[in-house]
Amino acid sequence: MTTIAFVGAGSVVFTRQLLADILSFPELADVRIALHDIDAARLETAAGIARQAAEQLGVHPSITATLDRRTALEGAQFVINMIQVGGIAATRTDFEIPASFGVRQTIADTLGVGGVFRALRTFPVLRGIAEDMLAVCPDAWLLNYTNPMAMNVWWLSEVAPALKAVGLCHSVYWTVAGLCDLVGVPLEETDYRAAGVNHQAWLLRWEHRGENLYRRLDERIEADPELRRRVRVDMYRRLGYYPTETSEHSSEYVPWYLHDEREIARLRIPVDAYIGISEENVAEYEQMRATLAAGEVVPLEHSATEYAPQVIHSMVTGSTRIIHANVPNRDLIGNLPRGAAVEVPCTVDSLGIHPHRVGVLPPQCAALNQAFLAVGELTVRAALEGDPRMVRQAVMMDPNASATLRVDDIWALCDAMTKAHGDLLPESLRA
C-alpha cells in the first residue's frame, strides 16, 4: 500500500486541497494517509477533513493522525512537508521588527530579513525530518512546499545528501496560466520552459503552435497602461524575460522598488500583504474547525494544479509528466552556483524525478539570480557553521535591505530579530 505522510498537516487549507487531488486519482483511492502536526487541535481538524474528503469522494483510504513525527513517517513512500515554524506569531515578528527599522516587505517568506530568519528557524526542523526519514523510510521522497524554498532545498542537500528531496511550487504554472489568459491562448495548447530560482525563475520560452507569445504580450502591455503598473511587467520590459512569481513577491527580491515611495505608488505594491493573507488563513482554519465541531460538512476544494499529487501519481503509475521543480544545481544551469537550489523543468515517472539541463541563463537574469542565491548561501552557511556574523552578512547582501538601511542598522535589526525569535533559532545563532 502506498503511504503518504503529511508533515505540518495542520495547515488544513492546503491539506484539504492536496487530499482532494490525491484521492481523486482512482489509482490512489486506497492509499494510507498519515497525518502529523505538533498542534493537537489542528491535527484533529486535519484528520476530520481527511475523513470527510474520503467520504465525499466515495473512497476508502487508511487515515491515521499522530503527534509523533517518526511514527507518521514509518514506511512512507512520500512525505509532503508544509510546516511553518513559529506560526503566525513568528510571521508578524518578521514584518513588524523590520518595519520599525524602515524596511518594507510584502511576503517576507523567501528572501530579505523575513526570508533569512524564516529559514534559520526552519532548518533545525528540516534536519530532524531528514534524520527521521533516513531512519524509518530511507527510500521515500520528501516533497517540500515550505518556504523559503531555495534555502530549504539547499540546506537539505547539505545536511542530508542521501535524502531524495525536491521542492514543489506552483508559481511557474500559474504565471503561464495568467499570461495565456491575458493574450487569449488556451494554456493546454502552449509549450513553455522556465528556469532560474524559486520565485525568481524566468519564462525562457512560451509558444503556441510555433508562435513566440511574447510578441502578443508586448502588444497587450503597450495597449494597457495599467498593466505597466505591475512590478513584474516593469521587470519584463527592462530585462526581456518574464519572472515567474507575483509582483508582490518579485518586488522584494530586487533593490529597485520598495525603498522608494514613488515606486510603491507607481507599481501599486501592497506592503505587508502576507500578514493579511496569514490572518485570512487562520480565520479559514477556525471556520473549518467550527464546521466540523457542528457536525457539518466541509466542502471539498480541489487545486487540480498542485504538483505533489501529480508527482505521486506519476511515480505510482508510471505516467510521465513534466513539471518545474527545485533541485540542487548539478550542472543544470551553468551560470548559477553549483549546489544551489535551482528551479528547472523535470520529467517525473516511475523511476523518480529527472531534472533537465538548461545550459546558461541570459546574463541579466543570471545576475539577479546570483544576488538572490548569495543571500541563500550565506544563510545556509551561517547555520552549518553556527556563525551569527554570517547571518548579518546575509542580510547585508539582501537587495531590498541593503537598498534601504545603513550597515549599522542592518546589524541592529538582526540583533533585534535574533532576540525576538529566541529559541526558535539554532542555539549557536542566538548571539
pLDDT of residue 84: 96
Predicted confidence at residue 373, as pLDDT, reads 98
C-beta of residue 65 within 8 angstroms of C-beta of residue 35: yes
CATH number, domain with residue 136: 3.40.50.720
Length of the chain: 431
For 213-240, give the DSSP string: THHHHHHHHHH-TTGGGSHHHHHHHHHS
pLDDT at 363 over 90: yes
Which of helix, strand or coil describes residue 191? strand
pLDDT digits (tens, 9 = 90+) for 23-38: 999 999 999 999 999 9
Asked whether residue 400 is marked as a ligand-binding residue, the answer is no
Q: How confident is the model at residue 312 (pLDDT cuts 50, 70, 90)?
A: very high
- Residue 349 confidence (pLDDT): 98
Q: If residue 277 lies in a helix (H) or strand (E), which one and from where to where?
A: helix 273-293
Backbone dihedral angles phi then psi of residue 279, each to the nearest 5 degrees: -65, -35
Comparing 251-255, 283-287, 360-364, 421-425, which segment has the lowest mean pLDDT? Answer: 283-287
What pLDDT is recorded for position 278?
A: 92
- Give the chain's domain count: 1
Mean pLDDT of 372-400: 98
Active-site residue, selected from the candidate residues 36, 60, 170, 302: 170
* Inside any domain, residue 103: yes
Across the range 100-109, mean pLDDT stands at 98
User: pLDDT-based confidence at 300, cuts 50/70/90?
Assistant: confident
pLDDT tens across 167-200, in order? 999 999 999 999 999 999 999 999 999 999 999 9
Place of cell 542555539: 427
Tens digit of each residue's pLDDT (9 = 90 or more) over 38-83: 999 999 999 999 999 999 999 999 999 999 999 999 999 999 999 9
DSSP, collapsed to helix, strand or coil, labels residue 341 as strand
Query: How far apart are the two ends of the chain, measured CA to CA in Å?
Result: 47
- Establish whether 421 is an annotated binding residue: no
pLDDT at 350 over 80: yes
* Cα distance between residue 382 and residue 391, in whole Å: 6
Is residue 14 assigned to a domain?
A: yes
Asked which of 247-256, 300-309, 419-428 is least confident by mean pLDDT, the reply is 300-309
The pTM is what?
0.97
Residue 289 lies in a domain: no
Task: Please state, in angstroms and as integers, the Cα–Cα distance from residue 308 to each residue in 73, 89, 281, 372, following that order.
Answer: 17, 28, 21, 26
The amino acid at residue 107 is: I
Q: What is the pLDDT of residue 301?
A: 83
Is residue 271 in some structural domain? no
* Domain-embedded: residue 31: yes
Residue 431 confidence class, pLDDT cut points 50, 70, 90: confident
pLDDT of residue 302: 85
Residues 6+ away with beta carbon under 8 Å from 3:
31, 32, 34, 75, 76, 77, 78
Residue 210 maps to a domain: no
Burial 309-342 (b: 16+ CB within 10 A, else e): bbbbbbbbeeeeeebbbbbbbeebbeebbeebbb
Q: Which of 137-141, 271-275, 413-417 has the lowest mean pLDDT?
A: 271-275
Residue 13: predicted pLDDT: 83
| Residue 133: inside a domain | yes
* CA dist., res. 255 & res. 213, Å (int): 29
pLDDT at residue 304 in the model: 75
pLDDT the model gives residue 140: 98
Sign of CA dihedral 357, 361, 365, 366: positive
In a domain, 411, yes or no: no
Cα separation, 26 vs 76, whole angstroms: 19
Cβ pair 102, 404 in contact under 8 A: yes
Name the grid cell of 70: 517518526
User: Tell me: the pLDDT tens digits for 231-285?
Assistant: 999 999 999 999 999 999 999 999 999 999 999 999 999 999 999 999 999 999 8
169 is in an annotated binding site: yes
**Stretch 343-359: mean pLDDT, rounded?**
98
Active site residue 356: no
109: containing domain: 3-167+298-318
User: d(Cα 368, Cα 150) in Å, to the nearest integer?
Assistant: 14
Radius of gyration of the chain (CA): 21
Query: How many angstroms separate the CA atoms of 393 and 411, rounded?
Result: 9
